[in-house]
Amino acid sequence: MQRALELAASARGATSPNPWVGAVLVRDGRVVAEGATAPPGGPHAEAVALAVADARGCDLYVTLEPCVPFPGKRTPPCAEAIIAAGCRRVVVAMEDPDPAVGGRGLALLRSAGVPVETGDGAEAARDLLRPYTRHRLTGRPYVIARFAASLDGRTATRSGDSKWITGEAARDRAHRERAWVDAILTGSGTVLADDPALTARPGGVAAERQPLRVVVDGRGRTPLGARLLREPGKTLIATASTAGAAWKQALTAAGAEVFECGDAEVDLNLLMDELGRRGILSIWAEGGATLLGSLFDGGHVDEVWAFIAPIVIGGRGPGAVGGEGAALVAEGWRLQSPRVEVIGPDVLVRGYTRAQLP
């Protein structure tokens, strides 16, 4: 199961809107085949493993419940393939939270006389598939709020200078995380201040698969010469109906997609619903204090990655998170299952803002 989880992690980010799953086929205590979910339209992890070796009399370890037939499904159901292959036993880490599957795969295997065990590796599988679970149960993406700040919580100096608060190692770590998510979200203020590329460049090299770039811009401020409009991949500008029509037309001509979701300002609820409909499972939110504050106030943030640098900026520099915030300390977003890592001279604090969805 540990190997199956490693295989699942290796496919993370390449399978959306499908879950990233790993499968290992074992005979007499020896691994005879393994597989990970292919990009959409390709075979699932179980099918990959079953195609490699004769599964008769084998045990199959898989990180997520095997799928079953349902309307709109494009690939053969794995539960039926497992039965046909003659597997001796199936060990499943977690039940599929998708209501279209939700226990039906396990029931189908058992009804065919295949013994099924569940729960081995469940905690690791649930952590790995948090974005998938969030999407399937709510229809919305899983949002990871990321910011880099000084010891006193500043993200820039009073003059607006913010390059660079954290070191190269922390910035590369952020790029490695960008490389697996489905979308990077920022605000027009960040576009104006930093002119970011919003691409994934782990190790300084542009990733082959680039996440969707999403800019929240209700007032039509994103310049036509913005760097992110010239980078590989797709850009979505989320704006309001009151933003200038000529500006929207010019952005479209520049290759961006313009999506109206609100009258005078961007409605984040409408935006999250739309991104969920598009099969976006995960979002890396790197906006400034205004956007991050709106995401927190709206209850959209599922996970936090805070890179803290050993520097004090002081003065009137902006803070990391704005918005209305909490009225009482007890009402703040205290992270669950927090983890602390030292990355070069900086410290990463990350954790979840809500309990894990069932």
What residues are labeled active site?
Answer: 46
How many residues does the structure list for the chain? 358
> Do 265 and 240 form a contact (C-beta atoms < 8 A)?
yes
φ and ψ of 240, to 5 deg: -100, 160
Q: What is the distance between the alpha carbons of residues 176 and 146, in angstroms, rounded to a whole number?
A: 13
Beta partners for residue 27, in sequence order: 30
Q: What is the distance between the alpha carbons of residues 358 and 348, in angstroms, rounded to a whole number?
A: 27
- Comparing CA positions, the residue from 120, 49, 50, 55 lying closest to residue 88 is 55
